[in-house]
Amino acid sequence: MSALFEISPLTGSFGVAVHNFNLSKISAEKDYPELRKLFEDHSALLFRNQSLPPEDHLRLAQLFGPIEDRKKDERQPGAAPEVSLVSNETDAGVTGEMDLHTLHLQANQQWHIDSTFMPVPSLCNVLAAKVVTTEGGQTELASTRAAWAAMPEDLRQRIKGRILGHNYRRSRERISMELANLPMFNKWPAQRWPAVWANPVNGQEALYIASHVFEVEGLSPAEGDALVDELIAFCTQPQFVYSHQWQVGDVLMWDQRATLHRGMPWPYEQPRTLASVCCSMTGSDGLEAARRVVGQAG
């Protein structure tokens, strides 16, 4: 139980709902340390009935770490990062099912971790529902910490100690080569990360894997792809998954070091808009330890 927050479990393996707390009023000194403990312990937190304007959304995410800004190269010098909208709504209206913008959203329906393809990956995504659909459109989370703890030893040994190569275009190639060739999916060189990360606060290990993985070092491309598929299939069994049906005002946040996620399809003629802010990892989140492992392996 939490001393400060009223909580209830989201699943039997991970995640809690936090009740009767206004995220816009959070205090770095008073509330955040307890919130961060819940984050480290449970990996996923749900808050309902929130009114989270952009300035509060950014302030909340910034408590976890520096705001991730994938469009820094497109901004005017000194311009601040903004809340990103995960949406099929554009100035021209709702995008069609085969529009490249919609295909990009469909690529997010693969199990992934945000920003494994960036030099500084994401620690946390703070996702808020603004416009929801009448059906579908869930966000699903899978605990790679709970799955790793339950994984058969022979499967663990096949991935433990290995380094994975990640790039953005890999997950988009699975959907459309035209999509994968867009400049936004080719901004960053491939990144290499350990397949298993230990949480520096509690020592619990989790598998760090994603649809962005294009290489398992030491294996052929076919062997690597097959192993990644097998591992993701194990981690996304029902006992390790939470499926969230959005309501306007919901805020869902999760630990990217220990959680896969994906969006689910919806009737694409219906608008759907989620507001997202990711914050970046720092050394205290295990980033430097992961970089040392990769350096030693190379």
pLDDT in tens, the chain (298 residues): 566 789 999 999 999 999 999 999 998 888 999 999 999 999 999 999 999 999 999 999 999 999 998 877 676 777 778 898 888 888 778 876 657 777 777 788 899 999 999 999 999 999 999 999 999 999 999 999 999 999 999 999 999 999 999 998 888 888 877 877 888 888 889 999 999 999 999 999 999 999 999 999 999 999 999 999 999 999 999 999 999 999 999 999 999 999 999 999 999 899 999 999 999 999 999 999 999 999 855 4
For the four alpha carbons of 185, 67, 285 and 138, in that order, the dihedral sign comes to negative
Q: How far apart are CA 174 and CA 202, in angstroms?
A: 36
pLDDT at residue 98, as a whole number:
58
Phi first, then psi, for residue 34 (nearest 5°) are -70, -40
Q: Which two tokens stand for residue 150?
A: 């339950």
Q: Provide the pLDDT for residue 97.
A: 63
Asked if residue 94 lies in contact with residue 87, where contact means CB atoms within 8 angstroms, the answer is: no
What is the spatial distance between Cα 296 and Cα 234, in angstroms, rounded to a whole number? 28
Encode burial over 144-168: b for 16+ CB neighbours within 10 A, e otherwise.
bbbbbeebeeeeeebbeebbbbbbb
Which pLDDT value is given to residue 95?
Answer: 75
pLDDT value at residue 274 = 95
Q: What is the CATH number of domain 6-297?
A: 3.60.130.10
Q: Where are the domains of the chain?
A: 6-297
